[in-house]
Amino acid sequence: MKLAPELKSKIDALWDKFWSGGLSNPLSSIEQMSYLIFMKRLEDMDAAEQKRARASKQPYKSVFEGHEDCRWSSWKHYPAEKMLIHVRDVVFPFIKNIHDGEKTLFSEHMKDAVFIIPKPSLVQEAVSILDELNITAQNRDTQGDIYEYLLSELKTSGMNGQFRTPRHIIRMMVELVDPDIGDRICDPACGTAGFLINAYEHIIRKHTSQDMVCEDDEGQHYGLYGDKITDKKAWGILWSSFYGFDFDSTMIRISLMNLVLHGIPTPNITLMDTLSKRFTEENKYTVVLANPPFKGSIDKSDINDHLTVGTTKTELLFVERMMNLLQIGGKCSVIVPDGVLFGTSNAHKKLRQLLLEKCQLEAVISMPSGVFKPYAGVSTAVLVFIKGDKTDKVWFYDMDADGYSLDDKRNFTDGKGDIPDIIERFKNRYEEKPVDRKGKCFFVPFEEIKRNGYDLSISKYKEIEYEEVTYEKPEVIMEKIEGLEKKIKSNISELRSLLKQT
């Protein structure tokens, strides 16, 4: 990501302070940092709203009215001991109950939140570093990158099983379903909200003048201002289009902070296990994007009655959940472990049958096993499907590279690999001339897949082209070996003669 070295060094220093201060769990550290960042951004956003109100000659009531001592600027220079007490006992309760109980981004999900920074010196040092980051002066892109850089610690640590999907893989998946203003976009296992953020940025890019948009080496776009969205109502529709669910309250709070710093002021994030009986939403969304938990299971008695595949495996249940979430004609892009594609259990086969007969399964993109290293080496695939019509034929693509080395180091190569080719060929797949199954992509008709037990693994259908190798006759090879042996013996004899002469 295009984050200036001085900003990265300040964030690294913040991590070091939290680590040495006793908060060694990255997830807990990010949560506590999020609270401090929110405290700072709250004053910034309040000032911006006040300016807009003055410009339009509209009345405005500050969120700090009656709580002026909760402004970042009023306490950021306090001595360490006084600062800790003030933030813990005054400011933190204020942001938990902001707007006197009215539902807001944080108040709804912070009822059980706890401020756990233990040392006065740590609070003071953290506040000082965050102040030096000068978040207010940064544009929205940089604000988002600051938070993404904080979240990157989850990627390297793998604490609590909280793993983030690589952003370039998310961008590819978003491109494949191509959301726009008016779509209702959902991630039923949202984690840090990476899919929702990238869907938002994809839409903004579509409505930004091309001369404003820049792209870095990793395919990340910047300068996304949405200048072509001139209707205030359209902005309101866009901001209210993103829905996420997660059963981890910490991740809910982190995802909310991430969404706000990326420019989405009103995300709809709910603490909920979407596989459980308590979840009742169906046929509601036009786009679903997700990388749900692999290898997990759920208590059989708590599985939602509308999930019919007959298993406790979460990687299967989540795919069916996504089918149920979609409206007819809605699109989904989801990452699944390879076992979903070829598993032989009744549940595996039933899920694939549902995908092919109740949906239009558009693509199976097989990804190399190193994509999720260093914390997981499992082979995965991206499924793209539309709810509704029965599948006619499935487009398969065999991804060899994603732009990074496929070992534990995941070093940058070109940041893109096969991804641009995947996006272009997927969009033009029906225009390409029929090709054989020896290349990177090809179609397989539904009837053939059905005959193969609904197997969706690309290896089942890809033809491997073998080169014919002509070997010499054994007697010729033996003659050559004997000739080499004679030459070696002769060289040894010459070498011994030379040694005797010396």
Q: What is the DSSP string of 322-365?
A: HHHHEEEEEEEEEEEETHHHH--SHHHHHHHHHHHHSEEEEEEE
Check pLDDT > 70 for residue 300: yes
254 pLDDT exceeds 90? no
Residue 22 class from Cβ within 10 Å (0-12 exposed, 13-18 middle, 19+ buried)? exposed
Amino acid at 25: N
Q: 239 and 265 in contact (C-beta within 8 Å)? A: yes
Among residues 149, 173, 199, the one where a domain terminates is 149
pLDDT at 155: 58
Q: Which of 168-182, 205-219, 452-466 has the highest mean pLDDT?
A: 168-182
Residue 162 has pLDDT above 50, yes or no: no
Q: Which residue has the higher pLDDT, 216 or 327?
A: 327
Has residue 161 got a pLDDT over 60?
Answer: no
Residue 266 lies in a domain: yes
Encode pLDDT of 97-112 as tens digits.
Answer: 775 545 555 567 777 8
Q: For position 191, what pLDDT does the model report?
A: 87
Of the residues 116, 149, 182, the one at which a domain ends? 149
Band of pLDDT at residue 32, cut at 50, 70 and 90: very high
Rounded to two decimals, the pTM is 0.83
Q: Kindly state whether residue 405 falls inside one of the protein's structural domains.
A: yes
Between 122-131, 142-151, 169-178, 386-395, the lowest mean confidence (pLDDT) is in 142-151
Domain that holds residue 432: 163-460
Provide the pLDDT for residue 160.
39
Tell whether the model's pLDDT for residue 158 goes beyond 50: no
What value does the mean pLDDT take over residues 213-220? Answer: 82
Query: Strand 359-367 to strand 393-398: parallel, antiparallel, or no bridges (unpaired)?
Result: parallel
Confidence (pLDDT) at 375: 66
Q: Which residues, including other chains, have CB under 8 Å from residue 99's CB and lie 6 or more apart?
A: 63, 107
Higher pLDDT, 27 or 141: 27
pLDDT of the residue at 2: 57
Residues 110 and 41 in one domain: yes
Same domain (yes/no): 14, 110: yes
Is the model more confident about 55 or about 345? 345
Residues 130 and 263 in one domain: no
Higher pLDDT: 417 or 60? It is 417
Give the count of domains, the chain: 2
Angstrom distance (rounded) from CA 364 to CA 334: 10
Of the ranges 246-250, 324-328, 404-408, which is most confident? 324-328
Looking at residues 345-358, what average pLDDT do you find? 97
- Least confident among 2-11, 69-78, 139-148, 281-290: 139-148
**One domain for residues 202 and 111:** no
Q: For residue 157, name the pLDDT band (cuts at 50, 70, 90).
A: very low
Residues 107 and 246 in one domain: no
Confidence band of 245 (pLDDT split at 50, 70, 90): very high
358 located within any domain: yes
Closest CA to 251 of 191, 322, 311: 191
At residue 52 the predicted structure's pLDDT band, cuts being 50, 70 and 90, is: low
Q: Which residues pair with 398 in a beta bridge?
A: 366
The distance from CA 450 to its chain's CA centroid, rounded to whole angstroms, is 32
Note whether 123 and 170 are same-domain residues.
no
Q: Are residues 181 and 280 in the same domain?
A: yes
pLDDT over 90, % of the chain: 52
Which amino acid would we find at residue 199? A
Alpha-carbon distance 381 to 361, whole Å? 13
- Is residue 188's pLDDT more than 80? yes
Q: Check whether 429 has a pLDDT greater than 90.
A: yes
Average pLDDT, the chain: 88
CATH code of the domain in which 348 resides: 3.40.50.150
How far is residue 440's CA from residue 399's CA, in Å, rounded to a whole number? 7
Q: Which residue has the higher pLDDT, 295 or 365?
A: 365
Q: Is residue 470, in this structure, part of any structural domain at all? A: no
Query: Does a structural domain hold residue 489?
Result: no
**498 domain residue, yes or no:** no
Does residue 99 share a domain with residue 201? no
125 in the same domain as 238? no
Is 239 in contact with 200 (CB distance < 8 Å)?
A: no
Of the candidates 14, 48, 9, which has an alpha carbon nearest to the alpha carbon of residue 260? 48
Question: Which amino acid, 236?
Answer: G
Give me the half-sphere count of Cα atoms (radius 13 Å) on the Cβ side of residue 85. 5
Q: Yes or no: say if 402 and 169 are a contact pair by the CB < 8 Å rule.
A: yes
Q: What is the mean pLDDT of residues 442-448?
A: 97
500 found inside a domain: no
What pLDDT is attached to residue 159? 41
Q: Is residue 192 part of a domain?
A: yes
Tell which wins on pLDDT, 136 or 414.
414
In this structure, the answer to whether residues 125 and 188 fall within a common structural domain is: no
Instruction: Answer yes or no: do 392 and 343 share one domain.
Output: yes
Examine the domain organization and report whether 239 and 145 are in the same domain.
Answer: no
Q: Phi and psi of 272, rounded to 5°? A: -165, 140
Q: What percent of the chain has pLDDT over 70?
A: 92
Query: What are the pLDDT digits (tens) for 447-496?
Result: 999 999 999 999 999 998 766 677 788 888 888 888 888 888 888 888 88
Q: Which of 114, 149, 184 is the last residue of a domain?
A: 149
Q: At which residue do the structure tokens 């988002």 appear? A: 144
How far apart are the C-alpha atoms of 451 and 453, rounded to whole Å? Answer: 6
